[in-house]
Structures are given as C-alpha cells and as structure tokens.
Amino acid sequence: MKSVWTACFSAIALLALASCSSKEETTNLLLQEWTGPHGGVPPFDKVEVAQFKPALEAGMAQTLADVDTIAASAEPANFENTIAAMERAGKPLDRAAAAYGVWASTMSTDEFREVESELEPKLAAMQDRIRQNAALFARIKAVYESPERDQLTPEQQRLVWDYYTDFVRAGANLSDEAKARVAEINQRLATLYTDFSNNLLHDEESYVTYIAAEQLGGLPESFVAAAAAAAKERDHEGEYAVTNTRSSMDPFLTYSNDRGLREQVWRTYYNRGDNGDQYDNNKGISEILKLRAERTKLQGYPTFAHRALEKQVARTPEAAMDLLMKVWPAAVARVRQEVADMQAIAKQEGANITIEPWDYRYYAEKVRKDKYDLDANEVKQYLQLEKLREAMFWAAGQLYGFDFNQVDNVPVYHPDVRVWEVARNGQHIGLWYFDPYSRPGKRSGAWMSDYRPQERMDADIKTIVSNNSNFVKGAPGEPVLLSWDDAETLFHEFGHAIHGLNSNVTYPKLSGTNVARDYVEFPSQLNERWLPTPEVLNQFALHYETGEPIPQELVEKIKRAATFNQGFATTEYLACAILDLKFHAIAEPGEIDPDKFERDALAEIGMPREIPMRHRTPQFAHIWSSEGYAAGYYSYLWAEVFTADAFEAFVEADGPYDPIVAKRLYDNIMSVGDTIDPAEGYRRFRGRDVDTDALMRDRGFPVVN
C-alpha cells in the first residue's frame, strides 16, 4: 500500500476538513505514532469504529496542510524540499488508514459501512485536491525538468519520474473546469465502488444453503465437519451450511453426488450481485463504465484501457490482448477434450446427462481418478493448513534466509489472527500477520496487505505485512485440510508477503509490492512453484491422522496430473481478463447492460458453455470495487509468463533451491521494489528478455510460433 493519499482510495466530497482540531491529531489513537515492540505496532486491540471518522478527517486535514506547506515554499524546488517532502507528508493518515483498511476488508459491520460510505468520498476528494494543486505540480515539474536531476541517484530519479507521471496522468495539466469535473467523477466513483463491495458482501453473507444429513452423499468428512460448524455458528445446529464463498462452493461442487443441490449451490454462487434486487450490481457497473470513459477522455487517452496500461510492463491493451488470445485457442481446445472425457464417464455410469457448469468439477474429479488414479480428497488428507504454513516458512528460509518466530506481545483485531516476527541473520526484518478463517464481515477470497511499508529515508523502518484467507474453520481441535488449489493460493499470497518482507529500498512509494500491476503477481505466482517440490512435500505434507508423509507414489501422481484440467483453469481466468479489456476498450459506453455485454462478448470469442467466468461481471470485485485491477486482470497471465521463464532458471541450475539463482532473484526482483524498470530488473536476473513460450510449455499447450 502506498501512502494513503497516493494510493487507489476511491472517494467523494471534501467537507470542512480544516475544522479538524490539532487536539484530535494528538489524542486520537489511530493517528498516534505506533509504540510497543518491533519498531511500533498498530494498536488493533483498542480500535473502535467510532474512532475512524474523526481520525481520518483529522489525518486528511494534516496531510493537506503538509502538502500546502510544500507547495507554498519560497525556496527553489529540489528533490529534498519537494519530492522527499512529499514522501514524509501524511504519516498520521497512513497509520489511521492501516486500521481502516483492516476493518473494511475483514471486520465490516453495518456501523462501519455507514462510516465507510461517508469517508470514501472525502478520501477521494483529498487525493484530487493534492493532484490538482497547481503550485505543487509546478514544483514537481521543475524537479523533473531540472538539469540537476541527472545528479540524483537512480532510485531518486525513478521517484521523481513516478511523481511527475502520476500527477500528469491524474490531470495536473488540465484546465480548471476539466479538473473540477475529474474531481466530481472521482467522488461519484468512490461511492459506486463502496456500494459494489457492500452489495457483494451482502450476497455472500445472506445466501447460505442448508442441507440435511441425508444430503451429504459424496462429501468428505472434513467438509462435513466444517459445514456443521458453519451451520452451528449461524444458529442452524443439526444442519450443514454451504456458505456462499469459493472455499465452500468449490469442494461441494467437486464431491456432492446430488446434482440438484450442485446446481442450486452453483447458481447461488454465480448469481452474487445479480439477483435483480436492491443489491444488484449491474446498474452501478454501467455508471462506473460511463464515468471512467468520460474521465479518461478528459485526461487525454482514447480509452480507459490505454490509460491503465501506460505504466505497466505490457504498455498497451493491444499487447495484453495479443497474449490472452495467443493462449485462448489452446485453452478452449483443451476444454473440449476435458468435456469429452467427462461425458464419457457420465455415460459409463449410466447418467443420461449433458455436462453443465455445475457438473464440471464433479466429473473432472472422476476423470482425474480415472486417468491418473489421483483422488483429490486423498491428497487433501496430507494438506494441513498449519503444516503448509510451516512449509512456507521453511521454503522462504531456504531461498531468502528468513526465520519466523511467533510472538504474543502484538495486539490483534480478532482472536483468529496470529503474528510472527521475521528475521534474517538475527536481524529484525518485519512482522507477518496471519488471518486464515472466514467469518461474517470479512470479504471473500485471499489477499496480502501491508500495514507499514519498508523504508530507510530518515530511519530504518521495517515492514509489517499480512496474509488473509477464507478457509472454513473446522470443529475445535480438528485440523483444517486444504485442496491442492487452496494450498497453491496460500503459497501465492505468501509470495506477496515475502515480496514485501524482502524490500530493501529508501523511499516508501517505491517499496515492496508497489510495482507495476502486471509485474506484482510475478513474485507471488513464482512462490507457488515451491509447494510441489519434494523438499516441501516430504517434510510437511503429513497425513492429518497418522502423521505419515505423503507417499512418493502419490507425489508422482500429482506430478503426472500437473497439467490436468488446465483447460478449465485457463479458460475461466482468460474469459475474465478478455472481458475486462473489452469493457474498458469502449470509448463511449453509453447505457450498457453488463449482463448482455458479458453474454455477447463471451459468445464472440467462443466461450465453452460448460464453464462460467471465474468472476462473473456483477461480482468481479477486482475491476468494479476499485481501480486496482481495472483493465489489468490480464496481469496474472502476463506475470505468469515471467513466472514460467523464471522457474526454468532454477530448473536449468541446481534445482528450485539453487542459492545462486535465489540470490539473483533477491537482488534484481524481490528486494528492489519499483526502483528500476521491471523489464530491466528481469533482464538482470535472467540475462535476457523473458521467453513468452515458457508459459505454453508450462501449461502443456502447444507452442505457437
């Protein structure tokens, strides 16, 4: 997370922030310097929702005052009094925003959502006021154009370029009238983004499928135990709850032999945000598209997609789409094969059906057993959440020299959260918070956050990062067993965390994961590659009852099935990425019906009817709840090109833990943040540009020349 006023906070109207008193700034808990161990920690245990509004309003007022002081300086603009000063501004607001972000994503309540709806517009308006400050931009521009810029360090030059480019992209060169309209648009978008998130959260919390004991056919014991616990938590003791989250839906569709129930659960999940009621997201999406297009035109770009990709590694939406469409035909062809295999098994079993979307996971699992003699539920018995956490620690230690030690002297915001100190060679590196379980008020999915970025501008500040998941907590004392996909996701998000923990830069804006959107997923995807290594599986893939390590025969089956179901996995993702670019390539959206646009666009590219998008449009939070991944969902595949090619570097050397390759990875990618151009950093790591064919080889698809 960049400092809050340069980050992607959505928002809506700046009220009388000047009225916030200096007393609030010094007395409000959320604004105060963090105290305690490890360089200070967030006081999460003392946070109350009532503190957010006064804290953030006071923090915004102080931030604006800091910025106005920089802009009004009588001294000639230089790096120290303008660019470095901007890096120092707004620290109290950053601290308050750390807690605010946690409550927005993991502790949301009706009371908090009311506060959030009021604050988001103010945050966006503050950001606009900073970016549209003519005197401030004149100083930034003066530093950018100064001959003395060449005398700065490469990192300082990169920071100057970053500030200047961000201000220009935000409209710093626009007329006063255009600036005012951009600010208006940003304020309205802030409200729409918040509404989208809250509507989606409503549908995830409100729709639960309760089933009886006689409807549990085919479901593994671990799922049954978790479903019973989830039902009891919701005052439905004696029943079993299939919650409206991926971590519950996915295993149910994989194992339940009740086809009618599979369809019910599938429809409930894929209709989130699309139920035609007050929580329906389609109308909001249409307005978001129109406003994004209007603002983009004012800023001088042909489409939102062109603006969004300008600072990315791909550079243009055409380049991104070319990669997606390079993979699409092979992915769809693989789906056809997968469906044919499923249909054959259904016929053998006497099921007179045509494979539907709610059948795909169920019959894919049967094909997996038939072709590879691999039972995903058997694999799951060896994938205990806590053992996998230990595995992640071990691999990070081998690659980057990290040591993890759990601490109990750090306050947390929920009893489920635990904290580890991270060290290297006995030196404190940072803190890692782990919040693994689903609960009401927590948004779905898995993610990484940083509460404090690493920097050493005025002092050696160590980072604080977190990983958040939504695993269904089992009965007390029962281990949480993960699917192979869930285990990969766990390693993926931890990859983001160790990217942040490895950061070794001077300025917070360039720190950790603050890199190009289509590059930030590269370190996290790469970290998935250490899960299936023998070193990890033999030590940490232990049977939850016997403690025996996973049999080598089962490991070999996993390897042979590594590219199994890649048609499904690739196609459901690609459809989202392609649709995202198509939505944002429209120069004049008008009144779009998102559902119809989705159907027509998927029909145009030949989407297999048996597969839905991974995130259907009304629930596609990556692109509609903020602008973080808007016109950028392609980045997962773009980053996977780097991932496949980079892991081949380890394979070509002495294996996945080769210390020489790991050192190059640390020196040129994991530690440098955004201090150098990502393509140049990768070139230094690999000794050449990335080989795009590595992705096709990795997925078992034919290489297209």
Do residues 471 and 385 lie in contact, with contact meaning Cβ atoms separated by under 8 Å?
Answer: yes
Active site residue 287: no
Q: Which helix (H) or strand (E) holds 403?
A: strand 402-407
Catalytic one among 239, 493, 627, 640? 493
Q: Are strands 402-407 and 418-424 parallel, antiparallel or unpaired?
A: antiparallel
Do residues 535 and 486 lie in contact, with contact meaning Cβ atoms separated by under 8 Å?
Answer: no
Burial tier of 98 (Cβ tally within 10 Å: 0-12, 13-18, 19+) = buried
Distance CA 543, CA 535 (A): 16
Q: What residues contact residue 163 under an 8 Å CB cut-off, 6+ apart?
A: 83, 86, 140, 144, 509
Q: Which residues of 613-643 are buried (b: 16+ CB within 10 A; e: fewer)?
A: bbbbbbbbbbbbbbbebbbbbbbbbbbbbbb
The packing angle between helices 259-270 and 246-255, to 10°, is: 160
Distance CA 38, CA 16 (A): 37
Q: Are strands 418-424 and 427-437 parallel, antiparallel or unpaired?
A: antiparallel
Q: Strand, helix or coil at 267?
A: helix
Burial tier of 541 (Cβ tally within 10 Å: 0-12, 13-18, 19+) = buried
The number of beta carbons lying within 10 Å of the beta carbon of residue 78 is 17
Task: Name which of 443, 418, 447 is nearest 432 in CA terms.
Answer: 418
Distance CA 434, CA 100 (A): 17
Task: Name which of 391, 490, 393 is nearest 446 in CA terms.
Answer: 490
Q: Strand, helix or coil at 292?
A: helix
DSSP string, 463-496: EEEEEEEEEPP-STTPPPB--HHHHHHHHHHHHH
| Backbone φ, ψ for residue 449 (5° rounding) | -130, 155
Q: Which residues of 228-245 are buried (b: 16+ CB within 10 A; e: fewer)?
A: bbbbeeeeeeebbbbbbb
DSSP state for residue 608 in the 8-state scheme: -
Strands across the sheet containing 427-437 = 402-407, 418-424, 427-437, 463-471, 447-452
Instruction: Please give the radius of gyration of the chain, using alpha carbons only, rounded to the nearest integer.
Output: 25
Residues annotated as part of the active site: 493
